[in-house]
Structure 1
Amino acid sequence: MSGVSGIGGAGSVEQIISLRQQIIDRSSLLKEIHQAKAAEGTAPAEPAGGGFADTLKSALDGVNATQTKASELSAGYERGEVTDIASVMLARQEAGVAFEATLQVRNKLLSAYQDIMRMGV
Structure 2
Amino acid sequence: MKINAMQQEMQALMAEAQNTSRPATGQQVGQDFGQLLSSAINTVNGLQKSSSDMTTRFDQGDRSVSLSDVMIARNKSSVAFDATVQTRNKLVEAYKELMNMPV
TM-score scaled to structure 1, two decimals?
A: 0.60
Q: Which of 84, 94, 98 is residue 112 of structure 1 equivalent to?
A: 94
Q: Structure 1: how far apart are the matches of 2:79 and 2:25?
A: 36
Where do 1:6-85 residues align within 5 Å? 44=25, 46-47=28-29, 50-82=31-63, 83-85=65-67
Which secondary structure state, in structure 2, belongs to the residue aligned with residue 81 of structure 1?
coil
Unaligned 5+ residue runs, structure 2?
Answer: 1-19
Aligned-partner SS, 1:94: helix
Amino acid paired to 1:111: E
Matches of 1:56 and 1:64 in 2, distance apart?
12
Match of 2:4 in 1: none
Q: Which protein shows a greater Rg? A: 2
Alignment match, 2:78: 96
More contact order relative to length (CA 8 Å, sep ≥ 6): 1
Superposition RMSD in Å: 2.2
Give % identity: 36
- Using the size of structure 2 for normalisation, the TM-score is 0.70
* Aligned residue identity for 1:84: S
Query: Take 1:71 and 1:102, find their aligned partners in 2: how far apart are those partners?
Result: 18
Separation of aligned partners in 1, 2:36 and 2:97: 23
Displacement of 1:44 in angstroms is 2.9
Higher helix share: 2
